[in-house]
Amino acid sequence: DGNEMPEIESYIQENRPSKLSELFGIAKNKNVIFISMESLQSFVINNTVNGEEITPFLNDLIDESYYFNNFYHQTAQGKTSDSEFLVENSLYPLPSGAVFFTNGQNEYNATPEILKEKGYYSAVFHANNKSFWNRDVMYDNIGYDNFFDQTAFQITEENSIGWGLKDKPFFEQSIKYLQSLPQPFYTKFITLTNHYPFELGEEDASIDPYNSNSKTLNQYFPTVRYADEALKLFFDQLKQAGLYEDSIIVLMGDHYGISDFHDKAMSMYLDKEEITPYDHIQLQRVPFIVHIPGEKGKVISNIGGQIDVKPTLLSLLGVDTSDDIAFGTDLFADDRKDFVALRDGSFVSDQYIYTKEQCYDRETGELLYPLSNSVIEPDVTNSDGEENVCKPIKSAVENELAYSDKIIYGDLLRFYNQSNDNEE
Ligand code: GP9
Ligand code: MN
């Protein structure tokens, strides 16, 4: 019956930034080109392998964009679809299963629906079967006007590898569709080539693989480079098509590509003795880049996550979201909520990182309570009798995740959207 909505609503209102960000409305009525970068993690940015730059295009792009270098993915088993769910709704995906499947027909108030009211046309571009992750159902439900799926593309043996159409022909073939869309448009492009097991033909490999005991990590670098080159081509084509100046371009890594199964090779690459639980959390960072024409941008080191994309984007577009049920906050706002909740209950706060029952200093990685095995549960205090500093944040994180789950399991936005419509 939606009895829980008032409580959740007050929680969300209490945690909203008190002021709009300075960039509110800076991209009003501009087109949006959102690019979901398959398996792209932040550790490759401004980094090298065998002495070669891995992402030369992105490294340059960052110099003329807003780049968030402490931005975390918050996905679980739903992988890419979880990242999409976070981005479109600013709700958390589920602790297990894929919300795109289990709750694809719920009532939502997603970005495409909100922007439709502002006159936007919306479309997704992704060269896979439309029903993969139940996308056709979910996209239709959240208001996408068009889904350019596998059938919209010419796919041959020559232009495919691994999961399907390679990223370069994918972007190339998308341009004509993009040009034909009504403007302003809100579009999402989902890349595919940099997907496990990171296969690439010799003709497409510009850099050599890494050399370790992990074939997966070794091959990751050339496929990341390929994706970087595909982006460069896409940007050139957007310029030629006259779409670049009227569009904000947002790039985001969807989730990790290298699992902890490859920790040994990863520690060798990162030149560390081992990958600690702290390092593991830091490896969940994915690039988040916002390019706004005419804005110089800068590197922003504040913490953030995929949950924050919807409020950030809508703020840039000048859309009032004061009634929106969203757990994220505008990344450009000043007094933001000070934690990023990962789906397994681990979190990153301004000062601390909590995972696997351990509390670390975020900046230094120092384990703060090294003597106790379980510092959070049962209640353990340090030798001075002080409460574990991660504990209150842990409760706040659990509370927030539970609110989000309640909304999804109970399909609670049915009641909220209805009562809001009545008020108007
Ligand atoms: C499939 C693509 C990859 O269409 O989005 O999915 P993933 O395995 O990363 O969730
Ligand atoms: Mn993915």
Residues with CB under 6 A from ligand 1: 79-80, 128, 132, 190, 192, 195
Name the residue type at position 422.
Answer: N
Residues around the ion ligand 2 (C-beta < 5 A): 38, 79-80, 254
- At residue 174, the pLDDT reads 98
Name the residue type at position 135.
Answer: R
For residue 197, cis peptide bond before it (omega within 30 degrees of 0): yes
- At residue 369, the pLDDT reads 86
Structural contact between residues 54 and 48, judged by C-beta atoms closer than 8 angstroms: yes
Name the residue type at position 298.
Answer: K
Alpha carbon of 80 to ligand 2 centroid (Å): 4
Alpha carbon of 21 to ligand 2 centroid (Å): 31
- At residue 382, the pLDDT reads 58
Which residues, including other chains, have CB under 8 Å from residue 244's CB and lie 6 or more apart? 235, 238, 293
CA of residue 302 relative to chain centroid, distance = 15
Name the residue type at position 289.
Answer: I
Pairwise CA distance, residues 340 & 72, whole Å: 8
Question: Would you write out the chain's pLDDT as a tens digit for each of its 424 residues?
Answer: 678 999 999 999 999 999 999 999 999 999 999 999 999 999 999 999 999 999 999 999 999 999 999 999 999 999 999 999 999 999 999 999 999 999 999 999 999 999 999 999 999 999 999 999 999 999 999 999 999 999 999 999 999 999 999 999 999 999 999 999 999 999 999 999 999 999 999 999 999 999 999 999 999 999 999 999 999 999 999 999 999 999 999 999 999 999 999 999 999 999 999 999 999 999 999 999 999 999 999 999 999 999 999 999 999 999 999 999 999 999 999 989 999 999 999 999 999 999 999 999 999 999 998 866 445 554 555 556 678 999 999 999 999 999 999 999 999 999 887 666 654 4
Count of Cβ atoms closer than 10 Å to residue 337 Cβ: 21
Which of 34, 188, 254 has most ligand 1 atoms within 8 Å of CB, for mutation? 254
Residue 370 burial class via C-beta count within 10 angstroms: exposed 0-12, middle 13-18, buried 19 and up? exposed
Phi and psi based region of residue 91 (left: phi greater than 0; alpha: psi -120 to 50; beta: remaining)? beta
Alpha carbon of 370 to ligand 2 centroid (Å): 35
Percent of the chain that is helix, strand, coil (3-state, to 5): 35, 15, 50
Structural contact between residues 181 and 246, judged by C-beta atoms closer than 8 angstroms: no
Residues carrying an active site annotation: 80
Pairwise CA distance, residues 288 & 309, whole Å: 9
Residue 196 burial class via C-beta count within 10 angstroms: exposed 0-12, middle 13-18, buried 19 and up? middle
- At residue 370, the pLDDT reads 82
**Minimum-distance ligand to the CA of 133?**
1
Pairwise CA distance, residues 67 & 296, whole Å: 11
Which of 80, 151, 255, 258 has most ligand 1 atoms within 8 Å of CB, for mutation? 80
Name the residue type at position 260.
Answer: D
Helices 167-180, 215-240: inter-axial angle, 10-degree rounding: 30
Phi, psi torsion values for 299, nearest 5 degrees = -85, 130
Pairwise CA distance, residues 212 & 50, whole Å: 12
Comparing CA positions, the residue from 175, 290, 232 lying closest to residue 58 is 232
Tokens matching residue 168? 């370069």
The interface predicted TM-score (ipTM) is 0.99
For 114, the 3-state DSSP assignment is helix
Name the residue type at position 169.
Answer: P
- How much is the pTM? 0.96
